Chains A and B, each alone.
Chain A
């Protein structure tokens, strides 16, 4: 019988180490520790400042009431309408100072994206989910406009540049270029959002 042999056949285990190393390296490379995705915002600084006087046309007032209803200007709107309204407000191009704007140049809307301020006032009883939905709608509006300008100036949309910027493959030189382009686009449509609490007294009227 083969069991009774003096010498057991030896298995060549030399390549086992290679296999184990390969596994180890594979998992090392493919494991990514996911960071949380979300919406980044800058809070106002705490030192009290006198509000700078702005022409009313340069302010888009968005309010969120306790029943989660949204009002833009003085119209009640649905959530889906918000990005479009914000975009037409930002992109209005009321003065010739904004050469890249494609809006209709209405008198009621902003002079230029740089002057435009979105004012978001929200009631304390409204839900956080709706608040994030509005913040998201604002992000959508800004991103879409920046995408458009990115395609026009650099033949690449803002979001894809941003994605490339964050990817690990990008070289240092490329990254620097991208940073500049991104800054440029952000300057064309700067995110100027003012947040406040909705005063219950005003709400009644």
Chain B
């Protein structure tokens, strides 16, 4: 056949450059992938619990870190001596509502009604702070709270 005659004389395809292409792809994704990695600015030693569950949806969450500030900023006096960190901002209890509202507004419209809050609270924090946060959140009608805890094995 004419077809096969033509084929016979064809040169082998040089695939030596293919690994380079793949590696370039690999490096591209490696370098462009960024993990959301905010620096923790408060003490954050999480408590542990036996029955812990994963959050199902992560597109509608706001994370609050609560604890003593690690450096610099002195905490407020009295029993509410912990600061809250949202993303890279450190704030006191009094500005929590505003900041949470700001965070809610960064979410797409259809998710704003069902925002869930992940709270990572340092185990040593007094409960007064948590109670205050809970009150403020429920005043904003943010009702789903997820207390982050480390899983603890039996025994």
Contacts and interface: CB of A to CB of B under 8 A. Distances in A.
**A interface residue count range (under 10 / 10 to 19 / 20 to 34 / 35 or more):** 35 or more
A197 to B, nearest CB: 6
Interface residues of B, number: 49
Chain B binding surface SS class: mixed
A41 interface: yes
A35 B79 CA distance: 31
B1 interface: no
Contact of B127 (A46, A127, A136, A162): A127
Contacts of A204: none
B51 interface: yes
Contacts of A135: 49, 147
A36 to B, nearest CB: 4
A139 interface: yes
A34 B125 CA distance: 25
A39 B131 CA distance: 16
Interface stretch (B13-21, B69-77, B86-94): B13-21
Given A36-B118, A40-B55, A41-B145, A46 B131 contact: no
Interface in A22-59: 23-24, 35-46
A77 B49 CA distance: 19
A1 interface: no
B149 A37 contact: yes
B15 A13 contact: yes
B22 interface: yes
B147 A37 contact: no
B53 A133 contact: no
Interface string A64-94: 1000000000000000000000000000000
B121 to A, nearest CB: 5
Contact of B143 (A36, A43, A124): A43
Interface in A1-36: 13-14, 16-17, 19-21, 23-24, 35-36
B139 interface: yes
A126 B142 CA distance: 24
B26 A20 contact: yes
B31 interface: no
B1 to A, nearest CB: 28
| 6 smallest beta-carbon distances between A and B, as pairs | A124-B128, A16-B19, A136-B49, A139-B51, A17-B18, A129-B123
Interface of B: 15-16, 18-19, 21-23, 25-26, 47, 49-56, 58, 79, 118, 120-131, 134, 137-151
8 contacts: A19-B19, A20-B19, A39-B51, A43-B142, A43-B144, A124-B128, A133-B49, A139-B49
